[in-house]
Amino acid sequence: MPDNQSVDRLAIETVLDSLDALVYVADMDTHELLFLNAYGREKWGEPGARKCWQVLQKGQTGPCAFCTNPLLLDEEGMPTGVYRWEFRNTLTGRWYQCRDQATRWPDGRLVRIEIATDISDIKDLQDQLTQAQRQAEQLANEDALTGLANRRALFALGNAALEQARRQRHPVALISLDADHFKQINDRFGHAGGDAVLRALAGVLKQHTRAADVAARLGGEEFAILLPATGLDEARELAERLRAKIEALRLSHGKETILVTCSFGVTASQNGEASLDLLLNTADIATYRAKSTGRNRIEDQGWVQIGS
Ligand SMILES: Nc1nc2c(ncn2[C@@H]2O[C@H](COP(=O)(O)OP(=O)(O)OP(=O)(O)O)[C@@H](O)[C@H]2O)c(=O)[nH]1
pLDDT of residue 40: 97
Active site annotation includes 221: yes
Q: Which residues pair with 99 in a beta bridge?
A: 84, 115
167 CB near ligand 1 (under 6 Å): no
Handedness of CA 100, 103, 106, 108 (dihedral sign): positive
Q: Quick count: other Cβ atoms within 10 Å of Cβ 253? A: 15
Alpha helices in the chain (DSSP H): 4-17, 38-44, 52-56, 69-72, 120-141, 151-168, 182-207, 232-247, 276-292
For residue 193, the CA-to-ligand 1 centroid distance in Å is 12
pLDDT in tens, 40-91: 999 999 999 999 999 999 999 999 999 999 999 999 999 999 999 999 999 9
pLDDT of residue 121: 94
Q: Quick count: other Cβ atoms within 10 Å of Cβ 37? A: 19
CA angle 111, 113, 118 (to 5 degrees): 155
pLDDT in tens, 86-139: 999 999 999 999 999 999 999 999 999 999 999 999 999 999 999 999 988 888
For 305, half-sphere exposure in the C-beta direction (CA atoms, 13 angstrom radius) is 4
Complete edge-to-edge strand list for the sheet that includes strand 298-303: 214-219, 222-228, 172-179, 262-269, 298-303
Read off the pLDDT band of 272 (50, 70, 90).
confident
pLDDT in tens, 191-207: 999 999 999 999 999 99
Given 42, 221, 247, 299, which residue is catalytic? 221
- pLDDT beyond 70 at 308: no
178 CB near ligand 1 (under 6 Å): yes
For residue 218, the CA-to-ligand 1 centroid distance in Å is 12
Rounded distance between C-alpha atoms, residue 209 and residue 255, angstroms? 31
Query: 254 exposed, middle or buried (CB, 10 Å; 0-12, 13-18, 19+)?
Result: exposed
Q: Which residues contact 68 (CB under 8 A, 6 or more apart)?
A: 83, 85, 98, 100, 112
pLDDT in tens, 132-184: 999 888 888 999 999 999 999 999 999 999 999 999 999 999 999 999 999 99
Atom of ligand 1 nearest to the CA of 145: 31
On whether the CB atoms of residues 210 and 299 are closer than 8 A, the answer is no
**Of the residues 148, 181, 182, which should be mutated to test ligand 1's pocket, given the most ligand atoms within 8 Å of the CB?**
182
Distances (CA, A) of 170 to 17, 58, 179, 204, 242: 71, 58, 30, 26, 23
pLDDT of residue 46: 94
- pLDDT beyond 80 at 1: no
On whether the CB atoms of residues 83 and 75 are closer than 8 A, the answer is no
Read off the pLDDT band of 3 (50, 70, 90).
confident
- pLDDT beyond 60 at 4: yes
Read off the pLDDT band of 36 (50, 70, 90).
very high
For residue 178, the CA-to-ligand 1 centroid distance in Å is 9
**In angstroms, what is the C-alpha Rg of the chain?**
34
Picking from 275, 296, 277, 268, the residue whose alpha carbon sits closest to that of residue 178 is: 296
182 CB near ligand 1 (under 6 Å): yes
For residue 180, the CA-to-ligand 1 centroid distance in Å is 9
Protein residue with its CA nearest to atom 12 in ligand 1: 183
Rounded distance between C-alpha atoms, residue 289 and residue 230, angstroms? 23
Angle between helices 151-168 and 120-141 (to 10 degrees): 70
For the segment 256-277, the average pLDDT, to the nearest whole number, is: 96
217 CB near ligand 1 (under 6 Å): no
143 CB near ligand 1 (under 6 Å): no
Amino acid at 25: V
pLDDT in tens, 203-250: 999 999 999 999 999 999 999 999 999 999 999 999 999 999 999 999
Amino acid at 178: D
Strand pairing category for 298-303 and 262-269: parallel
This complex has an ipTM of 0.95
194 CB near ligand 1 (under 6 Å): yes
Query: Domains, the chain, ranges and CATH?
Result: 4-123 (3.30.450.20), 142-303 (3.30.70.270)
For residue 207, the CA-to-ligand 1 centroid distance in Å is 23
191 CB near ligand 1 (under 6 Å): yes
